[in-house]
Amino acid sequence: MASVYPKGDKWYLRFRDETGRWRDRASAARSKTEARRLADDLERKCERQRLGLEAIPDADGGGTFAALLEWWLDTYSRVSPSHKRNTSTVTKHLLDSALAPLRLVDVTSGKIESFLQAKSEELGPQSMNHLRRFILTAFNRARRTGRYSGPNPATEVQRRKVPRRTPDYLRATEVPLVLAALAAWWRPLFATALYTGLRRGELLGLRKSDVDLDARLLTVCRSHGRDMTKGGHADVIPLASELVPFLRTAVDASPSALVFPNKDGTMMRPDVDLEGRLRRTLRRAGIVTGWTHTCRKKGCTHVEPAADAILRRCPVHDHKLWPTAQVRPIRFHDLRHTTASLLMMAGANPAAVQRIMRHHDPRMTTEVYGHLAPEYLRSEVDRLQFEPPAPPPLAAGLLQPPAKRVLAKNTRRSKTPEIPTNRVARPRGFEPLTYGSGGLRIQQDSRRNRAA
């Protein structure tokens, strides 16, 4: 049983550790009662570890946090398609941080939260969530392989809330302008991106054997140099009839087994500047949001924003201002958003759009692109009606007062016999008129009473 004793100006705790051996440890308790409570807590924790109910901490504290990250990069991240990006991010933000030299047992959720909060001015919420994911994944891998037996401190760190933004896309009227402004060599690649929604790596790794132009089918089974897509499975999607000529041209012009190679037949680099080519194409196609006129004289900083490219002169040096078109910040990946957006706006079934875009979760299709559907929630929002509805035609006719009948001179009157007034019972409320003997008896009794 745990005990306490004073020594000098401190209270010492005597307890049995996780191996059953007696240990003495100095505490920061200020009283015997507080020291007794700490000793009991420590005794219970070590007992749980002896019984296997709680993990026993490593003798070296699990190593340093930096060593854990390097082990995770070399063991698990290396086989992923995003290894290069993972290595760059971990090296820049985590291996040089205050967490790197700490032992794993000393890395707590509070220290991780403080580290992420200090990065809030430098990084956005999505980037901070990526850093949290790196830490969480590294600890989980270490626990599963037995490298570290303690708890995962990143599980207690909350994810940052990322504002949801509607992705930008090309409008239907802009797609022909973009395709016409592209060079002949690049036109089939961009047309395939627009008609199929394939990702960059899937386009660069597409092979001729994956394309069946007669059946108008395309098999997506690889991404750049990997024989697997981002989703981890192969998919077969249909080809639009307008895309077939573009693909046929690309297949005939390709000198290798790839559909979209370099001119020498080799595979394009994964970082090929497709965004820059798209921006220049938008500028040539006239799809701009405005113009910036700049004075190019050395030392002059005069800049004029304008809605057109009409010639202007610098008010200081009277030099001609150089116009630069400002295009929308559309990425090459936004061409994939264009495919889904235009399909939804054209009234395509959301389930079909999900299959074409190869979304694993159908909610992603409806939540991101559902607002573009022609009848999206319109029938439901029309339930809000604050003005009294117009009466239906039948009710309107019944509620209107009877119109006076105007008979023509030669119009024959109806031969329907009229009921004498003295034989008609007076109606009360909505009760129907009564023509039976009961009604006559009531009228005769009424006349006798008046005569008497």
Summarised one tens digit per residue, pLDDT across range 280-319 is 999 999 888 898 999 988 888 899 999 888 889 999 888 8
Instruction: Kindly tell me if the per-residue pLDDT of 118 is higher than 90.
Output: yes
In three-state secondary structure terms, 43 is helix
Rounded Cα gap, residues 173 and 110, in angstroms: 52
Q: Which of 53-67, 142-156, 328-342 is the least confident region?
A: 53-67
Looking at residue 380, its pLDDT comes to 73
Cβ atoms 43, 34 nearer than 8 A: no
CB count within 10 Å of CB 445 equals 10
The pair of structure tokens assigned to 301 is 């900083």
Looking at residue 48, its pLDDT comes to 82
Which CA distances in Å does 442 have to 254, 431, 432, 433, 449? 107, 16, 16, 13, 11
Please say whether the structural domain 181-267 has been given the CATH code 1.10.357.10.
no
Rounded Cα gap, residues 280 and 182, in angstroms: 9
The share of the chain scoring above pLDDT 70, in percent, equals 83
Which CA distances in Å does 204 have to 230, 242, 349? 14, 21, 29
Looking at residue 392, its pLDDT comes to 63
Looking at residue 50, its pLDDT comes to 79
Q: Which of 227-241, 285-299, 329-343, 379-393 is the least confident region?
A: 379-393
Chain segment 21-45, per-residue pLDDT in tens: 888 889 888 899 999 999 888 888 8
Domain extent listing, the chain = 3-50, 65-156, 181-267
Rounded Cα gap, residues 218 and 193, in angstroms: 12
Question: Phi-psi region for residue 188, left (φ > 0), alpha (ψ -120 to 50) or beta?
Answer: alpha
Confidence at 264, pLDDT banded by 50, 70, 90: very high
Q: Is 397 exposed, middle or buried (0-12, 13-18, 19+ CB in 10 A)?
A: exposed
Please say whether the structural domain 65-156 has been given the CATH code 1.10.1380.10.
no
Cβ atoms 365, 339 nearer than 8 A: no
Looking at residue 427, its pLDDT comes to 47
In three-state secondary structure terms, 133 is helix
What type of residue sits at position 301? T
Looking at residue 126, its pLDDT comes to 93
Distance of CA 422 to the CA centre of its chain: 81
Cβ atoms 104, 60 nearer than 8 A: no
Cβ atoms 147, 71 nearer than 8 A: yes
**CA angle in degrees (0–180, nearest 5) for 160-131-77:** 140
